[in-house]
Structure 1
Amino acid sequence: MNFEKQIKPFWWNDSNGSFSVCLNAGDYKPEIFESREDEGCEGNGYDWEALARVFLEEKCEELLEDIEFDSEAGMFCAYSEDSEALKKFVLAFKDACEDSEFILELFSRAEID
């Protein structure tokens, strides 16, 4: 399976040596964020970023220095100058998101702004 298909609904962007992976917030796995609706969680880009940060810290610690975030209300965005590090992150993160029990447990530790 090719990389672009593996990461859907996330999408890859390559722009002059900087690489990013994005997601339209609200389009994917809304049940994750519904689990913390009472805390103001909406499933927006910032909520996705909070989840991604916990994932990085706990499951991909070796990539912490390589991955940055620039999310907005309507879109999650992670970026890096290291394409391989970002690819490794998004593949692992997408797999984690497909494991409902695991991702809900992980999200329970995310800091919601």
Structure 2
Amino acid sequence: MELTTYEPFKITSDFGIRADIELLPAHMALFASYDYEPNGYCWEDHIIQILEKVNPALLSHIDFDPEAGGFYAYADSEEKQLEFVKTLSPIFQDLETLEQYISSADRDRVDD
């Protein structure tokens, strides 16, 4: 059961977090413009690098489970689930801010 959304992320009652990447053409184009394959694996690696900069402690509370067409992760509590989406949604909603992170990412740490 989906509780609420923090675009482009959605949260679920099992502390899940997801983003339907294939339904986000502007995001797909942005990642592709930097020669990244816009898939869940790529998002995971970029999100890890973003969190390392803005909220590194949160990483120990998230299990990533991406797929080709979507980003999926699970938090260990509702508190951490909300912290994740509240931290990342503003970045992913503002494509200029997201682009700053994408353009400065360590490409060797991105599996796409």
Normalised-by-shorter TM-score class: 0.7 to 0.9
Shift of 1:102: 2.0
Q: Does 1:79 align with 2:64?
A: no
Q: Structure 1: state its 5+ residue gaps.
A: none
Matches for 1:1-113 after TM superposition, within 5 Å:
4-5=4-5, 7-15=6-14, 19-28=15-24, 29-37=27-35, 41-108=36-103, 109-110=105-106, 111-113=109-111
Deviates more, 1:103-112 or 1:47-56: 103-112
Shift of 1:43: 0.9
4+ residue stretches of structure 1 with deviation over 6 A?
Answer: none
> Matched residue of 1:73: which SS?
coil
CA RMSD of aligned residues (A): 1.8
Q: Structure 2: state its 5+ residue gaps.
A: none
Cα distance in 1 for partners of 2:77, 2:30 equals 29
Deviates more, 1:59-68 or 1:23-32: 23-32
Contact 2:7–2:93 under 8 Å retained in 1: no
Cα distance in 2 for partners of 1:60, 1:31 equals 26
Sequence identity percentage: 30
Task: Give the alignment's TM-score, normalised by structure 2.
Answer: 0.80
Cα distance in 1 for partners of 2:49, 2:29 equals 18
Cα deviations by residue, 1:9-59 (Å, 9 ceiling, x for unpaired): 3221223xxx1110112322223202222xxx2211111111211111111
Larger helix proportion of the pair: 2
Task: Give the alignment's TM-score, normalised by structure 1.
Answer: 0.80
Report the count of equivalent residues. 104
